[in-house]
Amino acid sequence: TALQLADAALLREDLYVDGAWKAGAGGERAAVVDPATGVEIARVAEGTRADAAAAVAAAQAAFPAWSRRTAKERAALMRRWHDLIVEHADDLARLLTAEQGKPLAEARGEILYGAGFVEWYAEEGKRAYGDVIPTNGAGRRLFAIRQPIGVCAAITPWNFPMAMIARKVAPALGAGCTIVVKPAPATPLSALALAELADRAGIPAGVVNVVTGPAEEVGNELAVNPAVRKLTFTGSTAVGRLLLEQTAPTVKKVSLELGGNAPFIVFDDADLDAAVEGAIASKFRNSGQTCVCANRVLVQAGIHDAFVERFAAATAALKVGNGFDDGVEQGPLIDARALAKVQDHVDDATSKGATAVTGGKPHELGGTWFQPTVLAGVTTEMKIAEEETFGPVAPVFRFETEEQAVALANATESGLAAYLYTRDSGRVWRVGEALEFGVVGVNTGLISYEGAPFGGVKQSGLGREGSRHGLDDFMELKYLCLDGV
Ligand code: ADP
């Protein structure tokens, strides 16, 4: 089978709580299925509410000792964890492709990207500086110190089964927090393998815990448990809103990384080849299943036809297949529901006057593959303008002026990533500043980097991940006012 690992012990099927592997309290198991083949690859323990509560208790018990270690001591353990992740990158990539479907090269890229967060925050924890504040009175001395917030919980999605966890666990640990992770039910294996490596790295029991299981039980317990001081979530906007509500009674600090509806704007003065390349990279990564994938391609009238022609040709040339096969660039969608949504968006657009320049139908491979698709003549009346498609479909809108492009781009509740292609440096600043998005890529379709702040505005979320700012989400600022000096 495809799931041959050099280190078979990385395939874990139990919960990791308080440094030990155990079955769920209810004794149930859930199948993990390869979306490319439908073949069952593992049977993972179904955690219960009681398991989630036990993991929170373990994280709470581990917190005092972990938070009191020096940042340098924590960094040494995190560095070891990072090195083990890199050392086992091939196995981790195979697990990821098997449970998620993305091409093996992309999976490997995700593993190294995720490892980057562990390395970054191991170091950044050493720089959690506070302030010495000029005094407001003789005999008084004022300080602000930063302290870890406490027990954290992370709820993560299936589209980046490894990186979304690393991106949350690394800053938590670097800050001195302990954490309980609930991975997406479709993709628990990457999470459990990370826990296995954290264990081997010597990260103490209770510092990192992974509880798989149903959202309504495990996820809900993490949201309502009073011992959890911070919840960090990546997923759909609907579930994000729900979690914000569920965490309100215990006033948790919350970070939300929600849906995007990314505009990809190509101006007349753009480098056409670079814009096509960037659009392909942004739109078709993970078969369109990322929250920063271009969801609306806006092209200025003067370059529109030439762009569409080349973009469609490049799209049609993408190699579709099983992510384990050589050279494959487009894996299957995660499940049948995802496929149905993509088809619905295409049908809605074509019924209202858009044309499929390439693609438009389920792929001949069957399963959950969809043809890489470019739609032209798309307008704001179509569903695809409003909703995130999360699939390999690029809708192209035509615009005339810079003002129109900005208005069109901002006409959404979402505000995660946006992209623009232009060679006019004045326009870079004007449009870059006018876009109501948390991340703007200029003349590039790839913006991810652990050293840069990532996050959304408007209904795309709260908080930032990555960079020195990402540490703030896991820390509290304490003001110390000393009198009688
Ligand atoms: P997607 O549409 O990408 O699957 P979701 O928001 O449904 O995104 O899922 C993201 C994560 O949130 C997953 O780990 C999922 O199990 C979890 N989740 C879904 N519903 C809830 C809920 N009601 N409470 C807590 N977690 C949830």
Cα 151 to ligand 1 centroid, rounded to whole Å: 20
Closest among 396, 437, 411, 441 to 301, alpha carbons compared? 396
pLDDT at 117 over 60: yes
Task: Tell me which residue has its CA closest to atom 2 in ligand 1.
Answer: 236
Q: Give 119-168 pLDDT, tens digit per residue.
A: 999 999 999 999 999 999 999 999 999 999 999 999 999 999 999 999 99
Amino acid at 24: G
Q: What pLDDT is recorded for position 3?
A: 86
ipTM of the complex as predicted: 0.97
Cβ of 415 closer than 6 Å to ligand 1, yes or no, is: no
246 C-alpha to ligand 1 centroid (Å): 13
Ligand 1 contact via 206 beta carbon (within 6 Å): no
Q: Give the mean model confidence (pLDDT) for residues 289-301.
A: 97
For ligand 1, say whether the CB of 216 is within 6 Å of any of its atoms.
yes
DSSP assignments along 51-88, one per residue: HHHHHHHHHHHHHHHHHHS-HHHHHHHHHHHHHHHHHT
Distance in Å, CA 292 to ligand 1 centroid: 18
- Ligand 1 contact via 154 beta carbon (within 6 Å): no
Q: Calculate how far, in angstroms, residue 388's C-alpha sits from the geometric centre of ligand 1.
A: 16
State the distance from the centre of ligand 1 to the C-alpha of 254, rounded, in angstroms.
Answer: 15
- Residue closest via CA to ligand 1's atom 25 equals 219
Say what percent of the chain tops pLDDT 90. 99
Give the whole-angstrom CA distance, residue 374 versus residue 392. Answer: 9
Which of 155, 180, 335 for mutating ligand 1's site (highest number of atoms within 8 Å of CB)? Answer: 155
Mean pLDDT score, 3-30: 97
What are the tokens at 342? Answer: 């993509």
Helices (H) and strands (E) in the chain, counts: 15, 20
User: Is pLDDT at 51 greater than 60 in this prediction?
Assistant: yes
Write phi, then psi, for 368 (nearest 5 degrees). -110, 25
Q: Per-residue pLDDT tens for 26-39?
A: 999 999 999 999 99
Please tell me the least confidently modeled range out of 1-10, 188-197, 374-383. 1-10
Atom of ligand 1 nearest to the CA of 239: 6
C-alpha neighbours within 13 Å on the C-beta side of residue 51: 29
Spot the catalytic one: 106, 124, 257, 329: 257
CA 286 vs CA 160, 161, 342, 411, 481: distances in Å:
9, 12, 14, 26, 51
HSE toward the beta carbon, residue 346, CA cutoff 13 A: 25
**Average pLDDT for residues 272-295, to the nearest whole number?**
97
Rounded Cα gap, residues 430 and 180, in angstroms: 42
pLDDT of 2 over the 90 cut: no
Is-catalytic flag, 245?
no
1 pLDDT more than 90:
no
Pocket of ligand 1 contains residue 240 by CB under 6 Å: no
Q: Is the CB of 246 under 6 A from ligand 1?
A: no
Task: Give the Cα separation of 182 and 218 in Å (integer).
Answer: 7
